[in-house]
Amino acid sequence: MKKPIASLLFFLVINIAFAQEDAWVYLTDKPNVTASIANPISILSQKAIDRKQNHNVAIDERDVPVNESYISDLKNQSGIVVMAKSKWFNAIHVRGLEADISALINLDYVEYIDFANNNLNILSRGIANINKNHIEEETITFTYGETLNQVEMINADNLHDADYTGEGITIAVMDSGFPNVDTMGAFQRLRNNNNLLNGYDFVDRTTDVYAFTGSSHGTKVLSTMAGFVENQFVGTAPDAAYYLFRTEDSSAENPVEESYWVEAAERADSLGVDIINTSLGYTVFDNPNYNYTPADMNGQVAFITKGASIAAEKGILVVVSAGNSGSSSWQTVGAPADSPNVLSIAAVDADENYVAFSSQGSDAQVGYVKPDVAAKGGATSVVNQLNNIVQNNGTSFSAPVMCGGIASLWQAIPEASPTDIMDFVRQSASQFTTPDYFLGYGIPDLDLARTMALSIPEVLIEDFNIQPNPVRHELNLSIPSSVHRAEIVIYNQLGQLILNQTITEQSNIINVLDLAPGLYLLKISANKYSRTFKFIRSSN
């Protein structure tokens, strides 16, 4: 009688063992991908980086580690044992009962499940995954609620409907304070998607960027882009990733804040940020000896303006509030909105009319238009630090509304350069052919900008040319007939920016008589194409 009992127990153990299944759980995303690739030493050893460079092997998303919070959550699921992980496949090897593993498909961060027993994959990739896809499709359409007017005004809602919501774009927000962003309900979606990246307080020199420091301005600015309250509030780029940098000391007005801003811009550059939004502007200070004048707003004087221009040269698209001095004696845009290399955003009301406080362009901006474009800044819907939806006035809010829309646009045309994006935005605007000092080129239609970008004909870079070379007086620039406007920049041998100008088929001659004799570099950029030339300014 003992022998049959022993055999029964043996087979029972075997059956229980084989009731456990092994499977690979593939995840939807990874945290901080853009920033990690831009800063590879954070995810790879220097030796690994050197090896990849020596063999021309790209550092890509596969090198970024698996999201540890996903692993922790999987470990807490009923009946699941985590056995291994793979960053290359962005997958977790799990063990458990078939039913427990199959239930994982209902987790938001699970893309699909691949059982080691292939007979089970009909269920995993069929019924379960179809159900998941169905759920995802149902969540694409937004109900904007309070933000409907400001989103529709620039046609960002059409981009969202096409599933362009800023995903893959990283934005650095420079402002005066971001209290409660790490806990507020309006940013829960942002945190759940691991799109709230780390930040820094350059004023107090601390990583605690969420503490209250006298201002909640940054919290409200961020909400216009990243805020999400179901059926009540949707920002213009709810799925972009954000770094938060405090550079403004709300208790004082001192030029050191310009330096904080430049420090933050340098940090943003090193992190691989795509766009900077800054709803700040500098004109006069507590010490009147430091004051700028309206004539100084020429793109060449203010420290922060020169820093913003360098950020643009580094490949960052800089979006800036035009300022709120339109009805004051100052009147013109402040710094860094006066830089010809940034997008400066004016304010309109719900009826798309200019609001009197919005800073204007002036004769100080020679050869370029300021402000560039406009968005809703009169009674803009924002979320304050108490998690309440309110309305605020200011170009502080028209700028991030536009910035988020641009992030969604850029997701749709990822091959475009920052210069291309700015051109498409301007060209899509309501008064592109008749710009003025109030709204610049007008209110953009970002969906039209996408259409324009996707319909650009192929251009041969050989069609760009300059002559004569060497040149003494006037340099003639040739551009293809299909290109209506192009940006040119000239640098001297030291790499210093000498000239930044827009040219068209009708206005394509550059006067170089004021340049010192010597060698210069000239870069022509149009749409997604560019070409760089060397030319000599001769002395006779």
In one letter, which amino acid is 461?
I
Q: What is the DSSP string of 436-455?
A: BTTTBT----HHHHHHHHHT
Residues 412, 405: Cα–Cα separation, whole Å: 11
CA distance 330 to 132: 56
Strand order in the sheet with 343-348: 200-201, 241-246, 170-175, 275-278, 317-321, 343-348, 373-376
The CA R_g of the chain, rounded to the nearest whole Å, is: 27
**68-76 contacts at long range (C-beta below 8 A, 24 or more positions apart):** 69/31, 69/194, 70/27, 70/109, 73/107, 73/109, 74/25, 74/104
3-state DSSP assignment of residue 526: strand
Long-range contacts of 38-44 (CB under 8 A, 24+ apart): 38/270, 38/271, 38/272, 39/270, 39/271, 39/272
Residues annotated as part of the active site: 175, 217, 396
CA distances from 314 to 274, 294, 308, 341 (A): 10, 27, 10, 11
Instruction: Return all residues near 414 (Cβ < 8 A) that are at least 6 apart.
Output: 168
Q: What is the dihedral of CA 6, 7, 12, 15, to 10 degrees?
A: 150
Separation CA 4–CA 6 (nearest Å) = 5
For 290, phi and psi rounded to 5 degrees? -95, -5
**C-alpha to C-alpha distance for 43 and 65, rounded to whole angstroms:** 7
CA dihedral 151, 156, 160, 162 (to 10 degrees): 150
DSSP 433: T
- CA dist., res. 293 & res. 284, Å (int): 8
CA 478 to chain centroid, in Å, comes to 33
CA–chain centroid gap for 132, Å, is: 29
Nearest to 319 by CA among 215, 446, 447: 446
